[in-house]
């Protein structure tokens, strides 16, 4: 690879970029698992950008579907019209989400953070509609990430992304998260028995809120913050049971894990759990257009559709609220071109059987090949843990394997590995903070489901080389 694409750029340009400290290559083309920059350098996208791309780059039928929609009707406002494409895609998505969402409804947004904001407000309005106007708190977990808008940040636990904005966010309680490699209960059995203990903290916290908890939000499998940490057996079931007993809605944030990424349509399907609200984005459009979705179960939708708010017995609580309408909206919700992209992506994902391809528990799949290849990294001196499911994997680096001591945060070890990968033409998603929000280094690997065995072998060769270079 030439250096020019990485270095021959001014650090200040008209675009307010993510960082002023590093140059960015100019991307010009994508195809399959590859992205090319303006200098002709090719990168294998082994993190699907940020666990976004699932169907592969450059799929013509997606851009064709978007073009067709744009030519016919580019936009209408959802306060004035619905569109056939939004109605069709919502019905298909409810079907994809499974039996539990029969009779429910889908709210389309432009991405993950907007979807989380929507889910928080939907949960609040649900509680008001069913006569629980006191319920407004949304509980969540430490070391989680639910988005960058202020509401989503308030329920996130990612210290680096939150600390600056804490004076601006309304905070509710966060509970501990089962992170088996560094279990808070120091168990030695892969948290087989401590799932209940972690879940019990939710029950105590709900009780402490004195009837004010509206919902609990969690990533069924941790995304970027902890790096693909899987919950211990029974944990999600206990969480769902506690929520149900206390009338608290369970929101599953599947922005990263949804739409097949973990080898199931949604990651909650690995457990016997049904969320009241599913939130998804990223893989929903595979990056072809800004798109997110909130998939609400019938119970939630019925409460709002048949709303009691504004009726005589609830006038005292919220006299100015209109009943039978969701008090929320974005100009671009259910944007026809984004929805057309999402619908074409779902069709592609089904016709190419990509959810099955992502299943790491099934022999002969991309998921199982990636799992076997990454688990081989255990023999590296600095690889402490390899964890994940489907096509969502985390590799955690440690300075000392015995004590699990992390590298000093200022060393930015994950960043060094990421840079060494990039020099070799491999894109990964490096993160810091898995130990305590600041220390701890890991990479997220989440390739498109069209990755081949040869490409996986090449990824691992480069990754090993990059780890050795960073050591």
Q: Kindly tell me which of 214 and 217 has the beta carbon lying closer to ligand PLP.
A: 217
Residues 298-317 that bind ligand PLP (CB under 6 A): none
Of 374 and 444, the one with the shorter C-beta distance to ligand PLP is 444
> Measured from the CB atom, is 105 or 281 closer to ligand PLP?
281
Q: Is 245 exposed, middle or buried (0-12, 13-18, 19+ CB in 10 A)?
A: exposed
Q: Is 220 in the site for ligand PLP (CB under 6 A)?
A: no
Cβ proximity to ligand PLP: between 109 and 197 the closer is 109
Interface with ligand PLP includes 430 (CB under 6 A)?
no
Q: Which is nearer to ligand PLP, 292 or 384 (CB)?
A: 292
Count of residues in contact with ligand PLP, rule CB under 6 A? 16
Q: Given the complex with ligand PLP, which of 155 and 386 has the nearer CB atom?
A: 155
State in angstroms the smallest separation of the CB of 444 from ligand PLP: 10
Least distance from C-beta 457 to ligand PLP, angstroms? 28
Which 225-284 positions form the footprint of ligand PLP (CB under 6 A)? 253, 255-256, 281
Q: Tell the smallest beta-carbon distance from residue 146 to ligand PLP (Å).
A: 5
Distance, CA of 267 to CA of 262 (rounded, Å): 6
- Cβ proximity to ligand PLP, 281 vs 416, nearer residue: 281
In the complex, which residue's CB is closest to ligand PLP?
112
Footprint (CB under 6 A) of ligand PLP, residues 20-59: 50
Whichever of 392 and 420 has its CB closer to ligand PLP, that residue is 392
Cβ closer to ligand PLP: 424 or 442?
442
Residue 219 binds ligand PLP, judged by CB under 6 A: yes
SS3 per-residue string spanning the chain: CCCHHHHCCCCCCCCCCCCCCCCCCCEEEEEECEEEECCCCEEEECCHHHHCCCCCECCHHHHHHHHHHHHHCCCCCCCCCCCHHHHHHHHHHHHHHCHHHCCCEEEEECCHHHHHHHHHHHHHHHHHHCCCCCCCEEEEECCCCCCCCHHHHHCCCCHHHHHHHHHHCCCCCEECCCCHHHCCCCCCCCCCCCHHHHHHHHHHHHHHCCCCEEEEEECCCCCCCCCCCCCCCCHHHHHHHHHHHHCCEEEEEECCCCCCCCCCCCHHHHCCCCCCEEEECHHHCCCCCCCEEEEECHHHHHHHHCCCCCCHHHCCCCCCCCCCCCCCCCCCCCCHHHHHHHHHHHHHHHHCCHHHHHCCCCCCCHHHHHHHHHHHHHHCCCEEEEEEECCEEEEEECCECCCCECCCHHHCHHHHHHHHHHHCCEECEEEECCCCCCCCEEEEECCCCCCCHHHHHHHHHHHHHHHHHHC
Tokens encoding 255: 């922005």
**Least Å from the CB of residue 380 to ligand PLP:** 26
First to last CA, the chain: 22
Instruction: Tell which one of 223, 260, 287, 307 touches ligand PLP (CB under 6 A).
Output: 223
Cβ closest to ligand PLP, residue 148 vs residue 212: 148
Cβ 143 to ligand PLP, closest distance in Å? Answer: 12
157 and 140 in contact (C-beta within 8 Å)?
Answer: yes
Residues numbered 88-117 forming contacts with ligand PLP, rule: CB under 6 A? 111-113, 116
Instruction: Mark 129-148 with x for binding to ligand PLP (rule: CB under 6 A) and - for no binding.
Output: ----------------xxxx
Residue 265 CB burial class (10 angstroms; 0-12, 13-18, ≥19): buried
- Nearest approach in angstroms of CB 179 to ligand PLP is 16
Q: Using CB under 6 A, which of the segments 36-44, 83-91, 169-177, 219-227 binds ligand PLP?
A: 219-227
Q: Which residue, 373 or 392, is less far from ligand PLP as judged by CB?
A: 392
Q: Find the shortest distance in angstroms from Cβ 40 to ligand PLP.
A: 30
Question: Minimum CB separation from ligand PLP for residue 150, in Å?
Answer: 12
Q: Give contact residues for ligand PLP (rule: CB under 6 A).
A: 50, 111-113, 116, 145-148, 219, 223-224, 253, 255-256, 281
């Amino acid at each position: 690879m030439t250096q020019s694409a990485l270095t021959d750029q001014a650090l200040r340009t008209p675009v307010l970029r993510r960082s002023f400290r590093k140059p960015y290559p100019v991307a010009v083309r994508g195809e399959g698992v590859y992205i090319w920059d303006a200098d002709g350098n090719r990168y294998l996208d082994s993190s699907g950008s940020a666990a976004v791309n699932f169907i592969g780059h450059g799929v013509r039928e997606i851009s064709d579907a978007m073009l067709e929609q744009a030519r016919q009707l580019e936009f209408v406002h959802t306060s004035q019209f619905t569109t056939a494409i939004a109605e069709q895609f919502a019905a298909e998505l409810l079907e994809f989400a499974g039996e539990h969402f029969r009779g429910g409804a889908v709210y389309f947004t432009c991405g993950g953070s907007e979807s989380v904001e929507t889910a928080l407000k939907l949960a609040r309005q649900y509680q008001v509609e069913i006569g629980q106007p006191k319920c407004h708190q949304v509980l969540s977990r430490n070391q989680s990430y639910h988005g960058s808008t202020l509401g989503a940040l308030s329920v996130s636990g990612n210290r680096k992304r939150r600390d600056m904005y804490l004076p601006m966010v309304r905070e509710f309680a966060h509970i501990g998260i089962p992170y088996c490699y560094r279990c808070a209960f120091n168990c030695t059995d892969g948290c087989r028995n401590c799932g209940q203990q972690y879940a019990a903290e939710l029950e105590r916290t709900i009780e402490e809120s004195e009837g004010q908890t509206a919902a609990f939000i969690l990533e069924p499998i941790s995304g970027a913050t902890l790096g693909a940490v899987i919950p211990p057996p029974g944990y999600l079931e206990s969480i769902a049971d506690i929520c149900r007993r206390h009338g608290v809605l369970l929101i599953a944030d599947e922005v990263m894990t949804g739409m097949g990424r973990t080898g199931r349509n949604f990651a909650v399907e690995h457990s016997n759990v049904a969320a009241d609200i599913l939130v998804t984005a990223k893989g929903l459009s595979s990056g072809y257009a800004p798109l997110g979705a909130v998939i609400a179960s019938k119970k939630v939708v019925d409460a709002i559709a048949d709303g009691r708010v504004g009726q005589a017995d609830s006038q005292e609580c919220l006299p100015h609220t209109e009943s039978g309408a969701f008090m929320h909206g974005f100009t671009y919700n259910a944007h026809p071109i984004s929805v057309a992209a999402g619908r074409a992506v779902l069709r592609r994902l089904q016709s190419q059987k990509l959810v099955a391809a992502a299943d790491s528990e099934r022999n002969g799949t991309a998921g199982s090949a990636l799992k076997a290849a990454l688990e081989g990294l255990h023999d590296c001196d600095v690889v402490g843990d390899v964890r994940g499911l489907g096509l969502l994997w985390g590799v955690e680096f440690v300075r000392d394997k015995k004590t699990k001591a992390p590298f000093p945060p200022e060393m930015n070890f994950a960043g060094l590995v990421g840079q060494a990968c990039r020099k070799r033409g491999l894109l990964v998603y490096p993160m810091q903070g898995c130990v305590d929000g600041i220390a701890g280094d890991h990479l997220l690997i989440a390739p498109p489901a069209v990755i081949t065995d040869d490409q996986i072998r090449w990824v691992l060769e480069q990754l090993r080389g990059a780890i050795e270079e960073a050591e």
